[in-house]
Chain A
Amino acid sequence: MSPLHAGAILAATTAGERAELVFFIILAPLAVVTALGMVLNRHAVYSALLLVVNFFCLAAFYVFLQAQFLAAVQVIVYAGAIMVLFLFVLMLLGISREDVLHETIRGQRPAAAVLVVLLLAGTIWALFAHPFSGLGADLNRVAGNDNVRAIGRLLFTRYVFAFEATGLLLVVAAVGALVLGKRAGRPLPRGSAAQREEQVP
């Protein structure tokens, strides 16, 4: 691409579109690299931290795709609450152990590699077989320049039943976690702090 050509293309875009291009060129490889690092890292804590970086990249993409409310929810719920929960459990279960890396089923890794390549080829082929071109619509105009209000209106009118059902789902999940986590009536694991406390008269 000649400099003149590139200059003409740059002149045809607005400042916001140029910023999106620059951010995409930086953040998309970062998202892929952190995802790969999350899968390949032997330490689960490093995996969790790389996944947090990945979630932040996705939040930036949501802003560029004009989903401002979901970008905030992504940072608060995913990068905040869910990953902190993961780190809590990692610390609870012990972080010194490294993952076992030897194959337990013979030939699993090559088979997985073949299947993954097939899956990627299939999805990319599906994307290019029905090309989704164009810049899309201006969602800010659709939402009346207020993404949060538009989403809230949809949630509490058309999707109000689903919204209430997810509330019920969250309550059931919380009660289920409590039932799974309680240890009354069960023998304590040997050597645990709680058992040592019991042995002390």
Chain B
Amino acid sequence: MRVEPSWYLVLSALLFTIGVAGVLIRRNAIVLFMCVELMLNSVNLSFIAFSKLNGDLNGQILSFFVMVVAAAEVVVGLGILVAIFRKRSSASVDDVNLLKG
């Protein structure tokens, strides 16, 4: 029995689903960000598994760009979080309801 790249694809689907569940269930904005990171990482895993399946390095390059964009996203997102926390002293997404109709 050998580990095939398709096993990693199934694992990636599992991790992505767990990330989606976290985004839907949790209220803490920082934990929401972590769940988004988990989803990005699971997609990276499937990119790299497909790269191995097809014998093509372009999947790894795409995964590299995902990592760079995720880093930028985290910096801006956490900056917004800190700014919101200063105004409302809460990190819960339920407290950011000023646009409620």
Listed in ascending order, the chain A residues whose CB lies under 8 Å from chain B are: 9, 13, 17, 20-21, 24, 28, 31-32, 35-36, 38-39, 44, 47-48, 51, 54-55, 58, 61-62, 64-67, 69-70, 73-74, 77-78, 81-82, 85-86, 89-90, 92-93, 97, 99-101, 104, 108-109, 112-113, 115-116, 119-120, 123-124, 127, 131-139, 142-143, 150-151, 154-155, 159, 162, 166, 169-170, 172-174, 176-177, 180-181, 183, 186, 189
Least Cβ distance of B37 to chain A in Å?
7
Q: Provide the B19-51 mask, 1 if CB < 8 A to any CB of A, else 0.
A: 111101111101101110110010011001111
- Whose C-beta in chain A lies nearest to the C-beta of B4? A135
Q: Which residue of A lies closest to B33 (CB)?
A: A86
Report B68-101 CB contacts with A as 1/0, cut-off 8 Å.
Answer: 1111111110111111011001011010000000
Total contacting residues, chain B, CB less than 8 A: 74
- Give B91's nearest chain A residue, CB to CB: A93
A133 surroundings in chain B (CB, below 8 A): 4, 6
Given A115-B20, A135-B2, A169-B69, 9 more contacts at CB 8 Å? A32-B11, A44-B28, A65-B52, A78-B41, A99-B92, A131-B6, A136-B5, A173-B73, A180-B76
A sample of 27 inter-chain contacts (CB < 8 A) reads: A13-B2, A21-B3, A24-B3, A28-B7, A35-B15, A48-B34, A54-B38, A58-B45, A65-B8, A65-B48, A67-B52, A74-B67, A86-B33, A86-B74, A92-B82, A93-B85, A108-B24, A112-B21, A116-B20, A116-B24, A124-B13, A137-B52, A137-B54, A154-B61, A180-B82, A189-B86, A189-B89
Chain A residues near B1: list those with CB within 8 A. Answer: 9, 13, 21
Identify the B interface with A (CB < 8 A). Answer: 1-11, 13-22, 24-28, 30-31, 33-35, 37-38, 41, 44-45, 48-58, 60-61, 63-65, 67-76, 78-83, 85-86, 89, 91-92, 94
Chain A: minimal CB distance from B19 (Å): 7
Q: Which chain B residues border A124 with CB–CB below 8 Å?
A: 10, 13
Whether A112 and B24, one on each chain, are in contact in the complex, defined by CB atoms closer than 8 angstroms, is yes
Assembly CA distance A82 to B68 (angstroms) = 11
Please, which residue of chain B has its CB at the minimum distance from the CB of A181? B79
Are A174 and B75 in contact, with the CB atoms below 8 A? yes
Question: What is the CA–CA distance of A112 and B17 in the complex, to the nearest angstrom?
Answer: 11
Q: CA A59 – CA B37 in complex, angstroms?
A: 14
